Amino acid sequence: MKLQQPKNQMICFNLSTKALLAGLFLLGCAANAQEKSKAEDIKAIKSMCGCYEVEFNFAETFQYSKDGNYQPSKTKLDAGLEWVELVEDQPNKLVLQHLLIVTDSMIVKHWRQDWVYENTDFHQFFKDKTWKFNSLPKSAIKGQWTQNVYQVDDSPRYTGTATWIHSDGRHYWTAVADAPLPRREYTVRNDYNVLQRKNTHEITANGWIHDQDNVKIIRDDSGKDVILAKEKGYDVYTKVADSKCQSARDYWKKNAALWKNVRAKWQTIFQQRSDLNLQTTVGGKPLYEHLFDLKPDAAKAESDKVIDSFLK
């Protein structure tokens, strides 16, 4: 005798199967959409590489000091030529090194920006050469890119995480991050110790723009903040022929091995997943001077020793 499955059970089975298939289809669509978005993100980040004429513009916009003798920072307008080298190209990490061309014979290793996909670990600037380690759950950074910005000596500067937006013909990324004072400020003033930066990187038809809305903050040891002033920054990177930056490209070929060792040393420090405190100077010199004094073929042990001497 042939047994028949109850009709109502067959209906339930069919509905469950359809629901399962529909769920799998939606998951597949979501995964494809995320991969497509990630590919657009990578294209945008890589487009910041190359040779650029750069305009640097900074101006204080509002002052909050109760001191009647407060003097705002002077408006800064400057320009330069920079080569941005793609140092690492991995599926979830892109490393961009900026090289400032002063003259054909004088190249300055400038700032560096690392872009890491769905990164959970952060060293966030607190104040006074101190960075606090923080870790976020994966759910909080899904689809996001972390921009880690480093000093000229590859020590940490600031970190922000956000989603790249590709909409209405625009391609941009915006995040807020606490940072140390930039060189244009800490060489002339010491009345604040944190620059909270709202950074927007936007790709344009002629290059890209680094748009900033910054807050100058006085922070005490407990983390209490007092706002001193606000600032607008607007840096315009206009693409020019790569041949104009040939001297910087030659410099990097000669010095890449040294700075690869320096990056590797810092990475071992970051992987300890703990707070970071650095000395301002050792032997009367800041870290970048010690590293810039090294020869291009210096052994890794030599650059490691220099960096270790600055760790508290």
pLDDT tens digit sequence for 75-114: 999 999 999 999 999 999 999 999 999 998 899 999 999 9
Residue 134 lies in a domain: yes
Q: What is the rounded CA–CA span in Å between residue 82 and residue 240? A: 10
- Sheet order of strands, 156-162 included: 156-162, 145-150, 106-117, 93-103, 76-90, 50-63, 225-239, 207-219, 194-204, 170-179, 165-167
pLDDT value at residue 3: 53
In total, how many domains does the chain have?
1
Spans in the chain with pLDDT lower than 70? 1-16, 18-31
Q: Show the tokens assigned to 194.
A: 């944190």
Residue 3 lies in a domain: no
Q: Show the tokens assigned to 211.
A: 């748009």
Q: What is the pTM of this model?
A: 0.89
Residue 1 lies in a domain: no
pLDDT value at residue 258: 98
pLDDT value at residue 34: 80
Strand runs labelled E in 104-188: 106-117, 121-127, 130-135, 145-150, 156-162, 165-167, 170-179
pLDDT in tens, 263-279: 999 999 999 999 999 99
Half-sphere exposure at residue 197, Cβ-oriented, CA atoms within 13 angstroms = 27
Residue 41 lies in a domain: no
Residue 158 lies in a domain: yes
pLDDT value at residue 29: 62
pLDDT value at residue 33: 75
Angle of helix 300-308 relative to helix 246-270, nearest 10 degrees, comes to: 60
Residue 11 lies in a domain: no
* Cβ proximity of 216 and 230 under 8 Å: yes
pLDDT value at residue 35: 85
- Sheet order of strands, 276-277 included: 121-127, 130-135, 276-277
Residue 5 lies in a domain: no
What range defines the domain where residue 118 resides? Answer: 47-308
Residue 8 lies in a domain: no
Q: Which of 190, 177, 187, 197 is nearest to 125 (CA)?
A: 177
